[in-house]
Structure 1
Amino acid sequence: MIRKGEYTIYNGKEYRFIESDSVEAIELISNDKKDMENGFTYYKKNIYTKIVGVSEVKEFYSIHPYAVYKGEVFPASEERNTGKVLLATTNTELAKRMGFERADKYMYSKSVEWDEVEIIEERKPYSLD
């Protein structure tokens, strides 16, 4: 699974979150049904949420996923249909050399198997503003 978005630590466990309408609260997002035992409520298929106070969580950070493929680093995501890793670049020469296909006017992409890449995550502090 490739993680992307904003994350925080709540009760020793990492959760994705979104900012809520209240400045003092955030909404945690879980895919673990067991979290319902800890006050999460069912949202929809395999998604559970809980609103908590900002003071109840530790650190906020953004995760941006990248994949190392044949010695080059690319932004990465997971294809919903195939489950493969989707690589992207706007560098035309690099795309041609690596066998990428044009996805739109300026973007090239390529689907690869998980064992062809090393996934790395860039973490940056996130500020609630």
Structure 2
Amino acid sequence: MNKSYSGWENNEWPWTGNGFTASRNGEDIPEWTSKNYIELELGAKLHRVVDGKDEVIGLTAENLFQKINEVKSMLKKGLHGIYKGVEYRITVDMDNNLKIITDEKEKIDATFEDTYQSGVYTKIVKPNELVDCVSIIPFGFIKGEKVQILQEKENKYQVATGSILVGSNLNLPRVDRDSWLGWVSKSEVTLIEEITPVNPKEL
């Protein structure tokens, strides 16, 4: 497909190049591409508005939107560090503030904020206040194929891959042009954690 409307991106259908995806029912569906990665802050809400009714249908968890009332994932992933002897998740917001995050009330005091009233508490900290910081990336092997581990519930993992060969071999549903994603039994997955030390001053 040619680069329509002098756009800088080039993809296959339903991409059109004019800021709206193609559709079969005549409706315009806006879709925009960012040249930079956008960090979703833990606890941010996903809204659905139908006929003027505003409903919160999801919260961000591990940079993905998770359905309300879905079983909380116990997977340890992302950035973690120790602040005053207690372990927290770490993130950096769009203003480059370094924040610690938790949804455990026993870990907070009056200096934490629940920005989205979602039960997720954050606090801005200084890099020199954090120690033993690490990046944890969980992945798994299924039938010899390496996959991403996104989240878990009960006895299943949600796994994903960008490889058409791996997606096809594992019979994962194709959810996007280059994405295959599905839930599989934990008994089928060998879980591996990749742990890398992180300097908080470089975040």
With structure 1 as the length reference, what TM-score do the two structures score?
0.75
Looking at structure 2, the residues matched to 111 and 69 of structure 1 have their Cα atoms a distance apart, in angstroms, of 12
Task: Give 2:88's aligned residue.
Answer: 15
CA contact (8 A) 2:100 2:124 kept: yes
- Pick the aligned partner of 2:186 from 96, 109, 114: 114
Residue in structure 1 matched with residue 165 of structure 2 by the alignment: 93
Q: Distance in 2 between matches of 1:94 and 1:31?
A: 35
- How far did 1:102 drift? 1.7
Partner Cα separation in structure 1 for residue 192 and residue 163 of structure 2:
20
RMSD: 2.8
The answer to whether the 8 Å contact 2:139/2:149 transfers is yes
Structure 2 partner of 1:3:
76
C-alpha distance in 2 between matches for 1:68 and 1:39: 41
The answer to whether 1:27 aligns with 2:27 is no
**Residues 103, 119 of structure 2: 8 Å contact kept:** yes
1:125 aligns with 2:190: no
Counterparts of 1:118 and 1:8, CA distance in 2: 26
Q: TM-score under structure 2 normalisation? A: 0.51
- Offset at 1:74? 0.8
* Percent identical residues: 30
Larger Rg: 2
State how far apart, in whole Å, the 2-side matches of 1:61 and 1:78 are.
Answer: 19
| TM-aligned CA distance change 1:46 to 1:78, over 3 Å | same
Q: Please state how far the C-alpha of 1:113 moved relative to its aligned partner.
A: 2.6
RCO comparison, higher one (Cα < 8 Å, 6+): 1
- Decide whether the 8 Å contact of 1:9 with 1:59 is kept in 2: yes
**Helix, strand or coil at the partner of 1:42:** coil
Aligned residue pairs total 126
| Matched-pair contact (CA < 8 Å) for 1:36–1:42 | no
Tell me what 1:40 maps to. Answer: 112
Q: Unmatched 5+ residue regions in structure 1?
A: none
Relative to total residues, which structure has the larger strand share, 1 or 2?
1
Residue 176 of structure 2 is aligned with which of 101, 104, 109? 104
Higher helix share: 1
Write the distance in 1 (CA, Å) between the matches of 2:114 and 2:163.
42
2:43 corresponding residue in structure 1: none
Matches of 2:108 and 2:163, distance apart in 1: 45
Could you tell me how far 1:112 is from its partner in structure 2?
Answer: 0.9
| Distance across 2 between alignment mates of 1:38 and 1:101 | 45
| Per-residue deviation, residues 52-86 of structure 1 (Å, max 9, x unmatched) | 22222103322212122233321110268x98422
Structure 2: stretches of 5+ with no match in the other structure: 1-73
